[in-house]
Amino acid sequence: MSLAVIHSRAQLGIQSPAVTVEVHLSGGLPGLAIVGLPETAVKESKERVRSALINAGFDYPQRRITINLAPADLPKEGGRYDLAIALGILQASGQLKSKTLDQHEVVAELALSGSIRSIRGALPVAIACGQAGRILILPQSNADEATLLGDTPVIAVDHLLEVCAYLRGREQRAFHQPQPVALVAEPGPDLADVKGQLQARRALEVAAAGQLNLLFAGPPGSGKSLLAACLPGILPELSLPERLDVAAIHSLVGLPVQPCSEGVRPFRAVHHNASPVALVGGGSNHPKPGEISLATHGVLFLDEMPEFPRRVLDLLREPLETGRILISRALSKIEYPAAFQLVGAMNPCPCGYYQDGTDRCICSPEQIRRYQGRISGPLLDRIDLQLWVSALPADALLQASCVAESSAVVRARVEQARERQQQRQGCSNRYLSGRALDQYCALDATTTQLLTLAMRQLHLSARGCHRILRIARTLADLEASTSIREAHLLEALAFRGMQAQSSYQAVAEIAPEVPGG
């Protein structure tokens, strides 16, 4: 038979659509043509396959070889089709006879010697192959990653000859079993090591419980970065669907997937010289995920936020709302998950000492206004908790550490609050909107009047009002309260001001106007 059909997989974002490799041998001048929208690396596979077949002891057919990668309108990239093309040539030329080839999917790159090299994105391939009910043949170096999550049967190989022996039935190979690897994770900072900053610790707990975005503002050395680094330690472990998302993205870029398979949430700290492509993802023909996608279901930390170019920061506005990022190119549109939790830190002015309780600030009012204006209003409106972090006095900083709650204790409360949210509404408070927001964040007459006054005096937008409700609902969940009380709403309002004491002054002015305030 001069026609062979081999099953393989492409890479499109974190998806792995099926690709059928059709190989046809016909009369005419010897040559090999690849069709089906191949890029340069795919076209070059004909030279790798030819050398691999000859060096493995097979005959390279001196006939006209046509290879079609279907579907024809799906872009194909990389060397992942090398092994499928080689097996198709062997099957079509009669050198490989296997009745079980249709039950397998093949993804691997070939070396000139016939040995098999690793690919990127093995985990999405394995998940899609398992859903199709086939057995996956892939490089030995990718086997542990492919079997880390899910139960897809995987045959791990190191050479073309091993694949052929297995498909002919001459060699029995067991499905690959992942090797247990002890995860040695560097412990992050613990909340017990944070001195003072009770309100900042409270904001961190609320942000973790409601999966809310957070911004710390304050003078240098007040502990903003340390507090942000403590957030992953109080977040719940990744759920199974979240682990699959995170592991798939890490697999695409070549990062280890072992930590996310153990439930460790990602923490990405981005430097302020990051380009737009580095932050949101992109590229010329085949866009890659950026930092916001690598931080999916984890924390994206932006230190010194005003130092980022404003156009880079404004790229975060849509992903913060949708949890996805769509990258459009001429040949394709790729969507990556971007359900990250944003934590930012900033100084109040260029010198950093504005409103720090001293007269060290040398910045003019115009300089302060321009510096703070580098974070646009629409982006600032999307950050739920905005908190001023004051510098600790010397006596509080130098005194012996007092007994403070550890991250483990706070994490237990956060997990309980998250569980209440899942049982009540099926998602975290961050994703409440529309009717669900009206239903689960309903207010009584007193709290309604209080929020109405707050919107007028604090100039809150509709989005800001909804974020106040989500914060108040989270505070109620931390106390196992079924309803939002006035104390919850007042505390939520206090979390919406970056200037020192500004939010407390505004709340103090609002509260007396409310009956019982």
pLDDT, tens digit (0-9, with 9 covering 90-100), for 281-332: 987 767 889 999 999 999 999 999 999 999 999 999 999 999 999 988 766 7
Region 14-25 average pLDDT: 95
Q: Please give the single-letter amino acid code of residue 267.
A: F
Q: In terms of C-beta density within 10 A (0-12 exposed, 13-18 middle, 19 or more buried), how is residue 64 classed?
A: middle
CATH number at residue 30: 3.30.230.10
Q: Kindly state whether residue 419 falls inside one of the protein's structural domains.
A: no
Q: What is the CA radius of gyration of the chain?
A: 28
Query: DSSP label at 192?
Result: G
- 241: Cβ–Cβ under 8 A, 6 or more apart, which residues? none
One domain, residues 147 and 37: yes
Q: Kindly state whether residue 427 falls inside one of the protein's structural domains.
A: no
One domain, residues 355 and 466: no
Tokens found for residue 344 = 């930012």
User: Cα(235)–Cα(265) distance, rounded to whole angstroms?
Assistant: 8
Which range of residues forms the domain containing residue 498? Answer: 432-517
| Whether the predicted pLDDT of 156 surpasses 80 | yes
One domain, residues 155 and 212: no
Q: Kindly state whether residue 417 falls inside one of the protein's structural domains.
A: no
- 38: Cβ–Cβ under 8 A, 6 or more apart, which residues? 69, 76
User: Which of 137, 168, 199 is a domain's end point?
Assistant: 168
One domain, residues 30 and 164: yes
One domain, residues 164 and 274: no
pLDDT, tens digit (0-9, with 9 covering 90-100), for 51-63: 999 999 999 999 9
One domain, residues 49 and 111: yes
User: Which of 403, 422, 444 is a domain's end point?
Assistant: 403
User: Cα(364)–Cα(336) distance, rounded to whole angstroms?
Assistant: 43
pLDDT, tens digit (0-9, with 9 covering 90-100), for 428-440: 999 998 899 999 9
Q: Kindly state whether residue 24 falls inside one of the protein's structural domains.
A: yes
End-to-end CA distance of the chain: give it in Å, rounded: 86
Q: Kindly state whether residue 266 falls inside one of the protein's structural domains.
A: yes
* pTM, to two decimals: 0.87
pLDDT, tens digit (0-9, with 9 covering 90-100), for 245-269: 999 999 998 888 888 888 889 999 9
| Whether the predicted pLDDT of 138 surpasses 60 | yes
pLDDT, tens digit (0-9, with 9 covering 90-100), for 354-410: 988 888 899 999 999 999 999 999 999 999 999 999 888 777 777 765 667 889 999
Q: Kindly state whether residue 410 falls inside one of the protein's structural domains.
A: no
| Whether the predicted pLDDT of 506 surpasses 60 | no
User: Cα(135)–Cα(166) distance, rounded to whole angstroms?
Assistant: 12
| Whether the predicted pLDDT of 505 surpasses 70 | no
Region 173-199 average pLDDT: 76
User: Which of 106, 135, 168 is a domain's end point?
Assistant: 168
CA-closest candidate to residue 417, choices 229, 212, 232:
212
Q: Kindly state whether residue 186 falls inside one of the protein's structural domains.
A: no
Region 346-356 average pLDDT: 90
Is 48 within 8 Å of 114 (Cβ atoms)? no
CATH number at residue 260: 3.40.50.300
One domain, residues 336 and 385: yes
pLDDT, tens digit (0-9, with 9 covering 90-100), for 214-234: 999 999 988 899 999 999 999
pLDDT at 499: 53
pLDDT at 93: 94
* 41-45, 199-203, 357-361: the lowest-pLDDT one: 357-361
User: Cα(70)–Cα(62) distance, rounded to whole angstroms?
Assistant: 24
Number of domains in the chain: 3
pLDDT at 299: 96
One domain, residues 350 and 210: yes
| Whether the predicted pLDDT of 501 surpasses 50 | no
Q: Kindly state whether residue 423 falls inside one of the protein's structural domains.
A: no
**pLDDT band (50, 70, 90) for residue 504:** very low
| Whether the predicted pLDDT of 71 surpasses 70 | yes
pLDDT at 400: 64
One domain, residues 200 and 340: yes
Please provide the average confidence, as pLDDT, over all residues in the chain.
89
Q: Taking the alpha carbons of 434, 436, 437, 443 in that order, is the dihedral positive or negative?
A: positive
One domain, residues 28 and 104: yes
Q: What percent of the chain has pLDDT over 90?
A: 68
One domain, residues 275 and 357: yes
CA-closest candidate to residue 285, choices 59, 444, 76, 4:
76
**pLDDT band (50, 70, 90) for residue 497:** low
Task: Check residues 166 and 457 and name the one with the higher pLDDT.
Answer: 166
**pLDDT band (50, 70, 90) for residue 460:** confident
**pLDDT band (50, 70, 90) for residue 186:** low
One domain, residues 147 and 218: no
